[in-house]
């Protein structure tokens, strides 16, 4: 059991002394004696999970989700925002998030995730790791899949998904070359394909709901030579995650409608721009959000973009996570 091996190596099953300080605990499972075991086990776990739907279901039946949640929590507790993508704790987080993204595509797993509020909070926090693009990819993709569940939508809003996702929209590079733009993946655009995630690590056809592109993305390198392209990919994923949280996408990627999320997005992005999150390709919207536009339907400029960025930062720093509290943050900022 790969998840069990990773948990044993990281001591997330409670075998270590409960009085151990968080920093000492982190050093313990990242020690030279244990870190190799944890790294190998969690990488095997995610590759096994996305290779077959039955593997994912077996991981759930064997109690793998609480172990993964504990491992992620241990790592998030010691991560710095500027952690290098190849640091052991960042690699562990990345593979854990990849496993969770694969599990979140399974309905039974989503039901169990709805009982793990802290897990959702830790996933959301991983959207803010600027030097670890693979971890951000996996975290946002996990949110995309979890948004298929109405209870998970609500929990994600409560633990702060919007203030973490919205700043990612402002990272899209409008000067990105056509060649780089073509490489960007839109996992929740186009027709649904496949039956589950078999062969995901090899980039083959994946889960219904657009997982073909999603799992190809999860199999990408930990270190990206072009960070502008990586951040633009984050922006695309964040746009689709927001659309799914609000229930704005059409079939076959439709999710439950969430009036609170839709209302907050309209207040933050303006009603006309928020409505464009429903479009299959969010790139035109992202170009608008990262430039200036003044038409009869849309007014958007650098001042509005700066205010939006400040609102997101203010909401994260003050813990104002619920949609109605974002309205309050907006009023205080503007």
What pLDDT is recorded for position 32?
Answer: 83
Cα-based distances in Å from 75 to 45, 273, 294: 16, 36, 45
- Other C-beta atoms closer than 10 Å to the C-beta of 61 total 9
Could you give the 3-state DSSP secondary structure of residue 294? Answer: strand
Looking at per-residue pLDDT, the higher value among 14 and 163 belongs to: 163
Q: Which two tokens stand for residue 303?
A: 């001042």
pLDDT band (50, 70, 90) for residue 199 = very low
Weakest mean pLDDT among 131-145, 196-210, 286-300 = 196-210
pLDDT in tens, 163-195: 999 999 999 999 999 888 888 999 998 776 443
pLDDT at 254 over 60: yes
What b/e readout covers 281-304, taking b as 16+ CB neighbours within 10 angstroms?
ebbebbebbbeeeeeeeeebeeeb
Question: What is the chain's mean pLDDT, rounded?
Answer: 83
Short-list 153, 92, 102, 93, CA closest to 127: 93
- Other C-beta atoms closer than 10 Å to the C-beta of 231 total 19
pLDDT in tens, 313-334: 878 776 545 554 554 544 444 4
pLDDT at 206 over 50: no
Q: Computed over its alpha carbons, how large is the radius of gyration of the chain?
A: 19
Distance, in Å, from the CA atom of 75 to the CA atom of 89, rounded to the nearest integer, reads 6
Weakest mean pLDDT among 18-32, 120-134, 145-159, 176-190 = 18-32
What pLDDT is recorded for position 1?
Answer: 58
Could you give the 3-state DSSP secondary structure of residue 300? Answer: strand
What pLDDT is recorded for position 9?
Answer: 54
Q: What is this structure's pTM?
A: 0.85
What b/e readout covers 138-171, taking b as 16+ CB neighbours within 10 angstroms?
bbbbbbbbbbbbeebbbbbbbbbbbbbbbbbbbb
Distance, in Å, from the CA atom of 20 to the CA atom of 1, rounded to the nearest integer, reads 26
pLDDT in tens, 27-46: 577 888 889 999 999 999 98
Cβ(246)–Cβ(162) below 8 Å: no
Q: Where are the beta strands (DSSP E) in the chain?
A: 293-294, 299-300
Cα-based distances in Å from 185 to 176, 242, 292, 296: 14, 16, 25, 31
pLDDT band (50, 70, 90) for residue 258 = very high
What pLDDT is recorded for position 325?
Answer: 54
Q: Which percentage of the chain shows pLDDT scores above 90?
A: 62
Measured over the CA atoms of residue 124, residue 126, residue 129 and residue 135, the dihedral's sign is: negative
Looking at per-residue pLDDT, the higher value among 118 and 220 belongs to: 118
Q: What's the mean pLDDT in 141-162?
A: 96
pLDDT at 17 over 90: no
Among 13-17, 46-50, 134-138, the range of highest mean pLDDT: 134-138
What pLDDT is recorded for position 49?
Answer: 83
């Amino acid at each position: 059991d790969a998840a069990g091996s990773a948990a044993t190596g990281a001591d997330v099953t409670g075998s270590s002394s409960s009085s151990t300080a968080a920093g000492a605990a982190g050093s313990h499972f990242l020690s030279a004696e244990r870190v190799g075991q944890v790294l190998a086990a969690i990488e095997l776990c995610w590759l096994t999970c996305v290779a077959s739907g039955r593997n994912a279901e077996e991981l759930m039946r064997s109690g793998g989700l609480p172990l993964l949640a504990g491992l992620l929590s241990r790592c998030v507790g010691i991560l710095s925002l500027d952690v290098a993508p190849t640091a052991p704790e960042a690699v562990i987080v990345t593979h854990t998030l990849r496993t969770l993204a694969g599990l979140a595509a399974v309905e039974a797993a989503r039901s169990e995730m709805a009982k793990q509020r802290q897990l959702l909070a830790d996933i959301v926090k991983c959207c803010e790791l600027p030097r670890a693009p693979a971890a951000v990819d996996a975290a946002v993709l996990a949110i995309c899949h979890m948004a298929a569940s109405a209870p998970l939508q609500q929990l994600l809003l409560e633990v702060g998904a919007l203030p973490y996702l919205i700043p990612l929209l402002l990272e899209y590079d409008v000067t990105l070359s056509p060649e780089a733009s073509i490489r960007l993946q839109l996992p929740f655009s186009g027709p649904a394909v496949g039956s589950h995630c078999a062969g995901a690590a090899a980039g083959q056809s994946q889960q219904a709901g657009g997982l073909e592109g999603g799992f190809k993305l999860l199999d990408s390198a930990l270190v990206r030579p072009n960070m502008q392209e990586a951040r633009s990919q984050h922006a695309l994923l964040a746009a689709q995650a927001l659309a799914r949280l609000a229930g704005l996408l059409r079939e076959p990627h439709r999710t439950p409608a969430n009036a609170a999320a839709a209302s907050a997005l309209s207040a933050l992005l303006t009603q006309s721009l928020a409505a464009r999150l429903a479009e299959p390709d969010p790139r035109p919207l992202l170009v608008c959000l990262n430039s200036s536009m003044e038409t009869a339907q849309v007014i958007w400029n650098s001042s509005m973009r700066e205010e939006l960025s400040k609102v997101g930062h203010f909401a994260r720093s003050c813990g104002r996570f619920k949609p109605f509290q974002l309205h309050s943050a907006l009023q205080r900022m503007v």
